[in-house]
Chain A
């Protein structure tokens, strides 16, 4: 029972309790206001009610206060920040105004217009609780709204975060793909570099590099075109194209470079062809590469272009700057490899040339050794032969025609002459023979020799001359040059035991650098070529390699000295020429002698008439010779011709004789003597007798009066061994000739 003495109606209390239980179901203020209004309207003692919820429901009061309630100007939508506006009806006596308030917020009012206070009074506390419950529910909903807003914001952040994670994951995935690709690239570069370090063959290098790049780089195809420095096609290799590449190769062999190659060769940067199908119409393989991009880059190293590297790759890879850079790097590496292979080839060629030079050097050393040996014995040997030959001549002069001793002495003389010839050949191949070069016409020399060649070669060998109608002149020792032709002819004869044909040709030739490079030796310029060919048994390469070596012979023992061709070689070399042999077994041999062509105003040399009678004289001759027997032989030969001979055995004796003699017309002196050379003798004698002419004699001069084996101009010389006839003719020639003084 209430203080008023009126009991509360349980049904009304149930109504209020049910309302309180259900309030929490609502989230919308509108619905809460409606529900609350229905819950309290019609309560005992209440005339009208209102739930004032700005921003939510604002059911107004009815009846008398309705106008004033309706005039309330608290704006809608301001409740979150409303500090708790006063209700202007609160002070009215018949109004029960319940603030809808929590500790922190004020949302509005529940207003009851009470007309019967006593009847209403029992419900007052329940209505108050209901108002509080409504406030709490509003605030809870207010928090829920904010929570929901926060959740929305949170979801937004979460979604954003998820987006970020997706982006990062995608970026990471991209990074991983990139890393995988780079790994493949590095593997390709490593494989190519390994290939480069071991590759020694260009074609193999290019082929294997193509295969590596196609396998490890994800290229649809790879091909190389190697070109010469002037852009001509040299070689090509491919991987990933197969048989269709034959059409590209055919195009290349016709000299037609594909468009991408031409552009790459003209560019310092790689050429990217976006759509090969559309942009490489003339290329036979382009239609195979739909959805790809073409990439072409010139392979260059140290400014030299070696070719073009071409690839078809997935279009997206062609846009990657790193990909392009690595592609260029591979092209550069391969260019370096091609450069290295070139270098290796050049090195091999140089080594081969060096080997040939080494062989020539060894040959020269061998010749030098033999030459020294020959020179060493030639001096004494020739002195001995001079004595033998002179004394044979003297002995024969003293014997009657029918004297039986005459034949024996003649045999001795002929043996001496063969020995002299052998000595001369020894000096010739070792290039220590004294040369007396003359400007001469080789055709004339051959024509003169042609008369005696049939006797030398025999009837079974036909001799054919093919001489150039006009031929340049050469400077050579005529006697030595005859020796060359005779020795080559004799060599040919021995190669044709059953007969054959000997062809002797002459021609003017110009040798260029290419010839010199191919033959290692020789010189660029005008030459006269003497060619001696036979139709004999020929030679194998091993024989050819040794054919000019001294004492090398294919003839049976006792039939050859092994000096014939080595003499030829020595004479030719000493005459500043060179010789080559071409031969094959069973197909004959051809020797080509090249002698420098000269231009000279001199009249070409012609041989003296050998039939001229030997003349003597009464001039005074000073004979200087350290070998007493040679001196005696020479003195006798000269005196037999009527000359007055003064003798001396060396420089000092010569001085004394010269000092005491009234006149000396000719000094005949040995060149190599102990105590003073022939040159010093000449100077000393001509100092005392300026009009005296000088004639040197020697078996081996060792450069005492020679310059590189060639007699100096104006110097008269007679070669030991000599016969009285040879000596007499030479003395007469000098006495009748110009004014050969001593060498300067």
Chain B
């Protein structure tokens, strides 16, 4: 099985990035978010990749509706073998608590399904505001985000984590920067100079 990254079309920018790129979208306007994410998902579908979306502020049917409004070819039933929209909280916290290891396994399994099902690639995007509701384990979100980088290195799923700058406080947003090698700022992908390798981020503070 070829797990090596290859260039992928992001949709919202002309620049190609390797599959397995882990990006954070820090946004302050809904239109900005929908513009970036819609194009990102559409590019994946166009490339016949396996695409998954984890919705939190909107119900899956609403997400499907706005994607259709944007012209994205979303399957009529919403979910299909190559495309799914699920509730983020159920995806990240299937047992009512957040366990980074479990979610990382889910990512690996997802990648495996991509490979097994013959998709040329896979991409996911999740709304992270579920983590603000005090769900047990949600304080380990940054730990998870740091470890995702390791998983994606071997299981190259292209991922965009969505952080609403109106809901996460400034300090939390600053911490998000530490664990995402790429930032999407105003629709452009910025290489994050502040990014810390997972082991650096996770090493105990001196």
Contact = CB atoms under 8 A, between A and B. Distances in A.
Given A19-B194, A25-B186, A35 B174 contact: yes
B9 interface: no
B194 A17 contact: yes
Contacts of B186: 24-25
30 contacts: A11-B194, A15-B194, A17-B193, A18-B183, A18-B193, A18-B194, A19-B174, A19-B177, A19-B194, A21-B183, A21-B193, A22-B26, A22-B173, A25-B27, A25-B28, A25-B165, A25-B185, A26-B165, A27-B28, A27-B29, A27-B166, A30-B170, A31-B170, A32-B170, A34-B170, A35-B170, A37-B170, A37-B171, A38-B170, A57-B170
A13 B165 contact: no
A36 B170 contact: yes
Contact of B174 (A11, A14, A30, A38): A38
Contacts of B175: 38
A425 to B, nearest CB: 122
A33 interface: yes
Interface string A2-22: 000000000101110111011
B2 interface: no
Interface string B156-181: 00000000011001110111010000
Interface string A481-496: 0000000000000000
A364 interface: no
A18 B192 contact: yes
A302 to B, nearest CB: 75
Nearest to B184: A25
A72 B177 CA distance: 33
B190 interface: yes
Interface residues on B, range: 20 to 34
A28 interface: yes
B174 A21 contact: no
Q: Is the interface of A mostly helix, strand, loop or mixed?
A: helix
A39 B169 contact: no
A464 B29 CA distance: 130
A524 B131 CA distance: 123
Interface in B55-111: none
Contacts of B26: 22, 25
A13 B192 CA distance: 12
A27 B175 CA distance: 18
Contacts of A22: 26, 173-174, 177, 183, 185
Contacts of B165: 25-28, 31
Interface of A: 11, 13-15, 17-19, 21-22, 24-28, 30-39, 57
A11 B195 CA distance: 9
B13 to A, nearest CB: 15
B145 to A, nearest CB: 15
Nearest to B28: A27
B162 to A, nearest CB: 12
Contacts of B194: 11, 14-15, 17-19
Contact of B171 (A14, A18, A34): A34
B106 to A, nearest CB: 28
A15 B194 CA distance: 5
A690 B194 CA distance: 174
Contacts of B193: 13-15, 17-18, 21
B4 to A, nearest CB: 28
Nearest to B29: A27
A33 B170 contact: yes
A30 B165 CA distance: 11
Closest 6 CB pairs of A and B: A34-B170, A35-B170, A18-B194, A14-B193, A38-B174, A38-B171
A254 B39 CA distance: 87
B52 to A, nearest CB: 25
Contacts of A19: 174, 177, 194
A18 B170 contact: no
B205 to A, nearest CB: 10
A19 B183 CA distance: 11
